[in-house]
Amino acid sequence: MSESPHPIDTAAQRVALIGFGEVGGIFGTALAECGVAAITAYDILLDDAARGAAMRAKAARARVMLAASPEQAVADADVVISAVTASATRAAVESIACAVKRDAVVLDINSASPGTKIECAAVIAERGGRYVEAAVMTSVPPHGIGTPMLLGGPHARSAVPLLTALGFAVTPVSDQYGVASATKMCRSVIVKGMEAIVIESFLTARRYGVEREVLASLAETFPGIDWEVHGSWFWKRVVQHGRRRAEEMREAAVTVREAGVEATMAEAIADTQAAVAALAASGAFSAAGSDARWRDLADCIPRGNVPGTPDRR
């Protein structure tokens, strides 16, 4: 890991956030507490009638200034953090490229394929910015800004002292773009795949009335896993964040195909995540309380094909 020849003055740093959803809000609050000179954010949903007001209130609590455009947000920033949905990764970079300061660090934490990250790096490099590929390796809550991240690209090592001073937990893994993202995407096939498998298996077991026997058998085979606890955790994460996870798995499928492998599992996982997200958007889980367990959530799903899931018969 490279060492900075001089201490990093975090109070002199100006930070921009492109995307002010869950992750952007967490990072914005942490950076304000770190004492940076200014934090500016832009989110495409700021003008959304249903969600804009809540986002503005969150920004006020976090002491984050909101910009009217992505270009305005990044104009004076020393560090730009892109935290949008996976499908918006390229568009986010293109929206700020013309306004990024020369030598500004552009930290792209989005869950996108290696190919997408390589394309984004080229866009920023053309404008003189220092694009750093980042792969977030676990859920941001509850770790916050200290969530472990892998960094990649020719500017990864030189950016470590600055990012560390700001509170990030970063590890450079390669001077080449794509390595960090490939690591994240391959991991996601397993993690999001387990969620999808648990939903399909547990829902089916519940319908047949054999969930007790299934969970007992799983506990015997995998004694280190509390399937009741983990099952509920998996279900809740997909109900809450299925749309975002589905987008990530579409990018995982792209990653798999970029390697010359058929993306059968990644696409199926994305379908399941998207199906649960569609149910959540329709209000299917609205009767389930915040303390709902997986059985409560499973019982909210109507019989028949789950909406959004292709019929592969």
Domain 10-177, CATH: 3.40.50.720
Q: What is the pLDDT of residue 2?
A: 45
Q: What is the pLDDT of residue 3?
A: 47
Structural domain 181-298, CATH architecture: Orthogonal Bundle (1.10)
- Each residue's pLDDT tens digit, 198-248: 999 999 999 999 999 999 999 999 999 999 999 999 999 999 999 999 999
- Each residue's pLDDT tens digit, 159-190: 999 999 999 999 999 999 999 999 999 999 99
pLDDT at 47 over 90: no
Domain boundaries, the chain: 10-177, 181-298
Closest CA to 100 of 134, 66, 132, 130: 130
Q: Residues 6 or more apart from 204 whose CB is under 8 A from it?
A: none
Cα(242)–Cα(282) distance, rounded to whole angstroms? 13
Average pLDDT over residues 139-159: 95
Cα(250)–Cα(148) distance, rounded to whole angstroms? 23
Percent of residues, the chain, with pLDDT higher than 70: 95
Work out the pLDDT band at 6, boundaries 50, 70, 90. Answer: low
Sign of the four-CA dihedral 131, 136, 140, 143:
negative
- Each residue's pLDDT tens digit, 66-75: 999 999 999 9
Q: Residues 6 or more apart from 69 whose CB is under 8 A from it?
A: 42
pLDDT at 1 over 50: no
* Tokens read off for 179: 């390595």
Q: What is the pLDDT of residue 5?
A: 55
Q: Measure the CA angle with vertex 269, ends 267 and 274; round to 5°.
A: 95
pLDDT at 57 over 90: yes
Q: Which of 2-6, 64-68, 151-155, 268-272 has the lowest mean pLDDT?
A: 2-6
pTM: 0.90
| 3-state SS, one letter per residue, for the chain | CCCCCCCCCHHHCEEEEECCCHHHHHHHHHHHHHCCCEEEEECHHHHCCCCHHHHHHHHHHHCCEECCCHHHHHCCCCEEEECCCHHHHHHHHHHHCCCCCCCCEEEECCCCCHHHHHHHHHHHHHCCCEEEEEEECCCHHHHHHHCEEEEECCCHHHHHHHHHHCCCEEEEEECCCCHHHHHHHHHHHHHHHHHHHHHHHHHHHHHHCCHHHHHHHHHHHCCCCCHHHHHHHHHHHHHHHHHHHHHHHHHHHHHHHHCCCCCHHHHHHHHHHHHHHHHHHCCCCCCCCCCCCHHHHHCCCCCCCCCCCCCCC
Average pLDDT over residues 284-305: 91
pLDDT at 313 over 60: no
* Tokens read off for 91: 């568009």
Q: Residues 6 or more apart from 177 whose CB is under 8 A from it?
A: 114, 117, 118, 121, 131, 133, 152, 153
Q: Measure the CA angle with vertex 238, ends 194 and 240; round to 5°.
A: 155
Average pLDDT over residues 40-59: 92
- Each residue's pLDDT tens digit, 99-113: 999 999 999 999 999
Q: What is the pLDDT of residue 304?
A: 72
- Each residue's pLDDT tens digit, 235-248: 999 999 999 999 99
- Each residue's pLDDT tens digit, 112-129: 999 999 999 999 999 999
Residue 119 has phi, psi (to 5 degrees) of -65, -40
| Two domains, one topology: 10-177 and 181-298 | no
CA 83, distance to chain mean position in Å, is 7
Whether 247 contacts 86, CB under 8 Å: yes
